[in-house]
């Protein structure tokens, strides 16, 4: 029953329904999976400067003074942005005690923050061949300038009729590339890509390579499936429209290829400022944060020009 409830009581009711629904709706939407590939980093101000981004430290023989990477030349700043959503509720609905309609709309808004994070990650991925990483070079780029690793790779997958053999070939390409990635000292790091973000039309093929006990490709049919041991996770991104491109990530490091910078959790509110103007109350939520780029060495994009 919502009729006769005070503003404070309505806000308490709406908060409870929203929070309960948020818990129930976790991992029920494709955007939740896309959001999960980003490494969440808390933020304590209007922006964060990632001077420490470069590479993971490695042991070296101790001869004289310890050498430390000089990060002073890099200054990657990621500003926090505000995001807001609202559900309009007409006062007549409250007066008529239409709690079923009202509460269903409140529950329907649950999980919106995580869906937004997923869409922000999707936008960052699609812009990553032009948007700059910490080193001033496009996040996905061929070798140039100070960048010593090529994480923009040529693929073989057909946009019209993709085959398991083509997907397998491109998986081998990206795995071999990661294994050969080097740090700024010229030492091989040995990156193991384990998570793959794919467009909807490639999901089935990747899942077959992930789950089949024997090699499902036509070239090695009936033999042991070598891809099953190192393809740990396949995430479908509903926003990807390039039908034969995909992304690879290594998720075993402290940082990731994509950063989810979180300044504040979802804050709920009930606004009645328009109640006597247009008869509406607004139950809403807001949060602050942003998505940016981590280490290019921990991700790669495979692009195919095959029709």
pLDDT of amino acid 117: 95
Helix pair 99-108, 7-24: axis angle to 10 deg: 50
- Quickly list H helices, 36-157: 91-95, 99-108, 112-127
pLDDT digits (tens, 9 = 90+) for 122-169: 999 999 999 999 888 999 999 877 788 999 999 999 999 999 999 999
Q: Are the beta carbons of 140 and 289 closer than 8 angstroms? A: no
| Pairwise CA distance, residues 80 & 264, whole Å | 10
Q: Does domain 7-54+76-303 have CATH number 2.60.120?
A: no
Kindly tell me if the per-residue pLDDT of 72 is higher than 50: no
Question: Coil, helix or strand for 160?
Answer: coil
Q: How confident is the model at residue 74 (pLDDT cuts 50, 70, 90)?
A: low
pLDDT of amino acid 58: 57
pLDDT digits (tens, 9 = 90+) for 195-225: 999 999 999 999 999 999 888 886 766 788 8
Residue scoring higher pLDDT (60 or 296)? 296
The encoded tokens of residue 98 equal 């239409």
pLDDT of amino acid 121: 98
Stretch 57-63: mean pLDDT: 55
- Quickly list H helices, the chain: 7-24, 30-35, 91-95, 99-108, 112-127, 164-180, 200-211
pLDDT of amino acid 71: 42
pLDDT of amino acid 291: 97
Kindly tell me if the per-residue pLDDT of 70 is higher than 80: no
pLDDT digits (tens, 9 = 90+) for 230-255: 889 999 999 999 999 999 999 988 78
For the chain, how big is the Rg over CA atoms in Å? Answer: 24
| Pairwise CA distance, residues 63 & 58, whole Å | 15
Residue scoring higher pLDDT (19 or 28)? 19
Q: How confident is the model at residue 51 (pLDDT cuts 50, 70, 90)?
A: confident
Stretch 23-29: mean pLDDT: 77
């Amino acid at each position: 029953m919502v009729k006769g409830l005070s503003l404070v009581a309505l806000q308490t009711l709406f908060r409870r329904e929203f929070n309960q629904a948020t818990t129930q709706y976790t991992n029920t939407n494709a955007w939740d999976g896309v959001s999960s590939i980003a490494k969440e980093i808390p933020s304590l101000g209007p922006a964060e400067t990632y001077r420490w981004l470069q590479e993971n430290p490695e042991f070296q023989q101790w001869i004289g003074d310890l050498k430390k990477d000089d990060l002073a030349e890099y200054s990657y700043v990621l500003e926090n942005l505000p995001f807001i959503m609202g559900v309009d509720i007409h006062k007549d609905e409250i007066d008529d005690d239409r709690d079923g309609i009202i509460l269903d709309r409140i529950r329907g808004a649950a999980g919106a923050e995580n869906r937004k994070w997923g869409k922000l990650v999707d936008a960052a991925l699609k812009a990553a061949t032009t948007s700059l990483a910490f080193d001033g070079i496009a996040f996905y780029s061929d070798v140039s300038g100070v960048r010593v690793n090529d994480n923009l790779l040529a693929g073989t997958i057909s946009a019209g009729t993709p085959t398991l053999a083509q997907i397998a070939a491109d998986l081998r390409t990206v795995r071999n590339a990661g294994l050969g990635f080097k740090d700024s000292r010229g030492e091989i790091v040995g990156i193991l890509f384990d998570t793959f973000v794919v467009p909807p039309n490639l999901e089935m093929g990747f899942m077959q390579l992930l789950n089949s006990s024997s090699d499902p490709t036509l070239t090695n049919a009936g033999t042991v499936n070598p891809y099953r041991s190192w393809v740990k996770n396949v995430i479908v991104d509903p926003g990807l429209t390039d039908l034969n491109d995909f992304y690879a990530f290594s998720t075993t490091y402290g940082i990731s290829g994509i950063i989810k910078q979180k300044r504040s959790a979802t804050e709920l509110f009930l606004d009645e400022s328009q109640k006597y103007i247009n008869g509406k109350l607004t139950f809403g939520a807001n949060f602050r944060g942003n998505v940016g780029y981590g280490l290019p060495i921990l991700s790669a994009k495979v692009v195919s020009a095959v029709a």
